[in-house]
């Protein structure tokens, strides 16, 4: 289905209410309970995440923007010309602007973004800055296979752009599945530029997900507000609080919504009981070493061909391509 913005079509594969209900019932029926982090990004969630990226504790976006800008000449040298750039999760488009500006004659840009509001705003800004690049936005969940729109001009290859350390938000099995899907999307001659947050001091990591202003907590609780509004659940937002801690054993930040009291939540004819202090998992944020990331990529049939880190080795960009066969 194609939905129109002011002057461009959007391929709309956004999850339906039934999809969201199915995912939410599955998560609340599990032990321990969980909710899918992909539903963070309604219009309000996207706004709150942009506020998070500007909090003093949240180093990731600032460092990645600086790293991308500094590394762009080398990235351009390593990436073939006339690329069809496919971005998983477009967000505000600040990083995308740097990439499209620094590449040699990219032919088309396809952001795959679950938040239609964020998608439209980002693409309209980029279209003004890059009138020669064909904009082919897709409103969809990029964790599922997505058919790509075909550019009008012939492209040299596909470059998948996956910044922001978003890969770290997936459990290992899901991250592997996503990298396999990425390999299929890019094709045998394609490449992927992926951002990864690197292991560092635990205090720095935990502060980034527990900002003093409480924006991250508001962002996390907004997930419940969205579910109440869109699928008729009755979460009491005041009955839960945000908690994010680093697990050394698993190498990740684990974010939960914790029940403040004994309570029941109702959805689609089901009743879900929460004990006082019961934690419901809503997000992982894995932190990588090179060895761990390269081993994960190899299992997906991908190899790291170029590496760029910031001066403190807090954050990295990795250029991947399919492993040659034969």
Residue written as token pair 């899907």: 181
Is 1's pLDDT higher than 60? Answer: no
Is 301's pLDDT higher than 90? Answer: yes
- Of 71-80, 181-190, 200-209, 218-227, least confident by mean pLDDT is 181-190
Distance (Å, rounded) from C-alpha 236 to C-alpha 259? 10
Q: Higher-confidence residue: 299 or 6? A: 299
How many residues does the structure list for the chain?
326
The mean predicted confidence, pLDDT, of the chain is: 92
> What pLDDT, on a 0 to 100 scale, did the predictor assign at position 6?
40
**How much is the average pLDDT of 159-182?**
93
Distance (Å, rounded) from C-alpha 23 to C-alpha 17? 10
Which sign, positive or negative, has the C-alpha torsion 99, 114, 119, 189?
Answer: positive
CA 11 to chain centre: 19
> What pLDDT, on a 0 to 100 scale, did the predictor assign at position 324?
80
Is 2's pLDDT higher than 60? Answer: no
SS3 per residue for the chain: CEEECCCCEEEEECCCHHHHHHHHHHHHCCCCCECCHHHHCCHHHHHHHHHHCCCCCCHHHHHHHHHHHHHHHHHHHHCCCCEEEEEECCCCCHHHHHHHHHCCCCCEEEEEECCHHHHHHHHHHHHHHCCCCEECCEEECCCCCCCCCCCCCCCCEEEEEECCCHHHHCCHHHHHHHHHHHHHHHCCCCEEEEEEEECCCHHHHHHHCCCCCCHHHHHHHHHHHHHHHHHCCCCCHHHEEEEEEEECCCCEEEEEEEECCCEEEEECCEEEEECCCCEEEEEEEECECHHHHHHHHHHCCEEEEEEEECCCCCEEEEEEEECCCC
List phi, psi (to 5°) of 281. Answer: -70, 130
Neighbours of 153 (CB within 10 A): 13
pLDDT in tens, 199-243: 999 999 999 999 999 999 999 999 999 999 999 999 999 999 999
pTM for the whole thing? 0.89
**How much is the average pLDDT of 88-107?**
89
Distance (Å, rounded) from C-alpha 226 to C-alpha 96? 27
List phi, psi (to 5°) of 166. Answer: -65, -30
Distance (Å, rounded) from C-alpha 168 to C-alpha 66? 20
Q: Higher-confidence residue: 324 or 202? A: 202
Distance (Å, rounded) from C-alpha 197 to C-alpha 286? 8
Q: Which residues does residue 4 pair with via DSSP β-bridges, in sequence order?
A: 9
Neighbours of 236 (CB within 10 A): 15
**How much is the average pLDDT of 17-38?**
95
Strand ranges across the sheet with 279-286: 240-247, 252-259, 279-286
> What pLDDT, on a 0 to 100 scale, did the predictor assign at position 326?
41
- Of 83-92, 201-210, 239-248, least confident by mean pLDDT is 83-92
Q: Higher-confidence residue: 293 or 112? A: 293
> What pLDDT, on a 0 to 100 scale, did the predictor assign at position 74?
98
> What pLDDT, on a 0 to 100 scale, did the predictor assign at position 28?
98
Domains and CATH numbers, the chain: 59-201+288-322 (3.40.50.150)
Is 309's pLDDT higher than 70? Answer: yes
> What pLDDT, on a 0 to 100 scale, did the predictor assign at position 5?
43
List phi, psi (to 5°) of 236. Answer: -90, 105
Q: Residue 9 — very low, low, confident or very high, per pLDDT cuts 50/70/90? A: low
Is 32's pLDDT higher than 70? Answer: yes
> What pLDDT, on a 0 to 100 scale, did the predictor assign at position 11?
66
pLDDT in tens, 111-141: 988 777 778 888 989 999 999 999 999 888 7
**How much is the average pLDDT of 99-114?**
93
> What pLDDT, on a 0 to 100 scale, did the predictor assign at position 325?
53
Q: Which two tokens stand for residue 244?
A: 């994010």
> What pLDDT, on a 0 to 100 scale, did the predictor assign at position 91?
66
> What pLDDT, on a 0 to 100 scale, did the predictor assign at position 3?
40
> What pLDDT, on a 0 to 100 scale, did the predictor assign at position 7?
57
């Amino acid at each position: 289905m194609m939905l129109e913005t002011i002057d461009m079509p959007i391929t709309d594969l956004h999850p339906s209410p039934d999809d969201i209900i199915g995912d939410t019932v599955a998560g609340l029926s599990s032990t321990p309970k969980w909710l899918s982090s992909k539903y963070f990004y309604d219009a309000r969630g996207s706004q709150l995440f942009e506020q998070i990226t500007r909090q003093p504790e949240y180093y990731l976006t600032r460092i990645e923007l600086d790293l991308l800008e500094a590394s762009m000449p080398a990235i351009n040298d390593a990436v073939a010309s006339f690329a069809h750039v496919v971005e998983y999760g477009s967000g505000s488009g600040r990083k995308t602007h740097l990439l499209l500006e620094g590449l040699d004659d990219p032919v088309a840009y396809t952001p795959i973004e679950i938040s239609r509001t964020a998608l439209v705003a980002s693409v309209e800004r980029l279209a003004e800055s890059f009138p020669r690049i064909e904009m082919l936005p897709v409103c969809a969940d990029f964790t599922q296979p997505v058919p790509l729109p075909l550019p009008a001009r012939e492209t040299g290859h596909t470059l998948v752009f996956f910044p922001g350390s978003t890969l770290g938000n997936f459990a290992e099995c899901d991250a592997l599945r996503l990298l396999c899907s990425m390999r299929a999307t890019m094709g045998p001659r394609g490449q992927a530029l992926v951002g990864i947050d690197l292991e560092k001091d635990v205090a720095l990591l935990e502060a980034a997900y527990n900002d003093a202003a409480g924006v991250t907590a508001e962002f996390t609780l907004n997930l419940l507000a969205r579910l109440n509004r869109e699928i008729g659940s009755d979460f009491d937002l005041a009955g839960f609080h945000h908690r994010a801690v680093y697990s050394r054993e698993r190498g990740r930040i684990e974010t939960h919504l914790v029940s403040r009291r004994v309570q029941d939540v109702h959805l689609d004819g089901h009743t879900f009981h929460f004990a006082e202090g019961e934690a419901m998992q809503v997000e992982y944020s894995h932190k990588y070493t090179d060895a761990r990331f390269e081993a994960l990529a190899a299992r997906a049939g991908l190899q790291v061909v170029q590496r760029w880190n910031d001066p403190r080795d807090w954050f990295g960009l990795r250029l991947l391509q399919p492993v040659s066969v034969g």
